[in-house]
Structure 1
Amino acid sequence: MEKIMKEDFDKLNNDFFYVAKRKFNVDLYNDITSVYISDVLISLYFEGQRTNSNIAISLVGSFVGNTVIKEWGGQWAPNSFSVKGVGLNKIVVNPFSISHQRLTKGVNKTLFNQLQSVGIKANNEDINLKLDENRLREVFNKLFEDGWWPISKIYKKNYPNYVRYEMAYIVGVMAKYLKDKDYVKQKFSELLEDKDMIYYACVVFQNCLFPDFLDKIKEIIEGKDYSNSVKAQAINALLGLSNDDKLKILDFIYGLIFKIHNPVLKLYAGNLIGTINSEDNIRWINEKLLDNNTDELTKLALLVSVQILRKKEFNKTLLSLFFDNNISNSFKDEIIKTLHLLPISDEIYQIRDHYDKFDMKNKIGFINIVLFSDFKNKKELLKDLLNHENDSFVKGYILSAIDNISS
């Protein structure tokens, strides 16, 4: 049965390659760069006609599954649509669920970002997901020359908002690699000149923001004439800057997280800060998290920054906050979730000392921290927890974690 199913997956995987070649004359392979390219091709192919089609999900799911196998090891599980034994912790991945989310929800759940998460969870470290920039330039310029750059689709007011959003996102993804920068800038300027298009222009900029348009983005974020939904996209537009360009406007970015009072926009600002990779930024985040003058909502936004950066330098700060009696339980819940994502090892003992006082949710969170950590004695620690645990559900979860390590 396993052999037959594997052959089916291989056939569907090759069928996806055939569709890409026939429709776009683009060659795909089972590598991470092809996944990035496939996201663009999927959007262009369906152009607002995405459905829950089992055929589409099967094609993309098989492609994702075979790519997961090649990138991180593992094999198709018999009698299921999953890939088992992926990464150091031998997790199970359901590529059909990933493709279903991508096809039904669009760019809010991109294949590349989902696979990036799978990779990090499997290996508990930022694995090498380096894209082949030369290949992206070659493919996207070819699509552009063949008339596939979908900027005109953004203006189609008869299209649903989610379709125009997705087309704007893809415009930015491709624009980053296009050779004719003058033409691209001209088209971007035209978008900004149309008040109805500013929202979509900000979506475009999330993947390709030229410094020429930075002042306009700042104006949108700080202005009173724009809705919060537009401001949210404008904050995200700053994600399109290079790390060096973000460092040039660091004071402006830091100011956002304190000036903004809308909780959602504040989280967007925290997300932005988390994309700035520098020792000074890590130090600044730690200082503000420990500063008693920083309100809890701002600290929650900074936890988002920590979750994105995932640096061990945050471990000491988060543990200090976790054991602070003045910190609310809801904030401590978020700390547990964040620690789950960090490269933590011997610090686990400090949390273990407080395990018996945890509620069920935080016990599960701690077990996950142990499971995905670099801690060498995780199996022995889990067995110790099992011997002292009275809750049957938590016991079952611990046993499952032990089995996961043993398999």
Structure 2
Amino acid sequence: MGRILLISNGHGEDIIATAIGQKLQALGHGLEALPLVGRGTAYERAGFAVHGPRQQMPSGGFVLDDPTAFLRDLRAGWLAMSLGHWQAARRVAARSEAIVAVGDLYALAVARIFGRKPTFLVQSRVSLRAWQGQGGRVDRAYTGLERFLMRSAVRVYPREAEGARWLCAHGIAQAEYLGNPMLDAVSGEAGLEPPPPYLLLLPGSRPDAYYSLPRMLEACRLLRPSGLTPVVAWAGLELGSLQTPGWAREATGKAEGVVLRLIHPDGTVVHLATEAFRRALEGARLALSTSGTAAEQAAGFGVPLVGFPTAGPQYTLPFAQAQQRMLGQALTLTEPNPETIARAGLELLSDPTRYAAAQADGKAAMGEPGGAERIAGDIDWHLRRWSKVDSS
């Protein structure tokens, strides 16, 4: 079979694209990747060839709600980086049979404008649930330009059944819901020394983490009565920039799993782990979160969340509120201070009815696993059908 180019615009989107790419690889396809945001480490770990500049911009890819973020990106070299991405898209697409774009308008635009090969869109970002209660604004969930470009895609795979129905009703007949591949993109099997149950800390993969993790650490001190063991799922940001006043650091010398212990004089110990997200998630009873994809994956696994807004670039108040509308009772939002964070967590853990409702809402919002395999199978079916037509 021919080669397929994966184009994605975000850390979570890289992970989702990798999950789908691995299923396509198992079906006999060759895969290459072009991450438009960040370094594309998920692709590297999967063994895919990674193309284009791999520079982390200050905004982390979140510029729509903050015009000043785009100016900071421009000063950091956004234009030169983007030119490199566009050139890579044209070069790699020339030897590819098709493109799978994972993300939103920007990933699709790069695929269609510069790739110019049959394109399959996995729209993993937009949730109509997140627009509920916003009046007529639901019509802005998918922009007019995005819908225009969607009409040229072979297939469009929304993350929710509601999205597929809405798109079909608005002129995108090739939209079909085949499941949410986000739940198939949960990786990280490195070992964890401390036993479950865990209090999972998800500060995210953007610079928000430097603001939110210190507050989560202080909340952990107040959550000691829960009996949960705090574990940080660290997403690869530079640890040297993390400020944890009042906490001693003890490096374990390991390359993955628990790489660092944060120890407070009151006896609270927090285990910071890399490459262990799935292992931590499977043992988690509650999560503190300022993350995007990881929070939604946790909700889909039945782990209730307590979140709080940051100054950005990702987990701003509007972003957090949209995520709460999408996840329902699975996400409790609080003020960004340790006392209210801990209080919300303890109240949730002490109320079995509310806890069960949070679990149910999270699973309902995220759907069932298996979407990556079904989407890959659908893409494979189209490519093989074309191959038969061409050979005849």
For the aligned pair, the TM-score class normalised by the smaller chain equals under 0.3
> Greater helix share, 1 or 2?
1
Q: Which structure has the bigger radius of gyration?
A: 1
TM-score normalised per structure 2 = 0.26
| TM-score of the aligned structures, taking structure 1 as reference length | 0.25
Higher strand share: 2
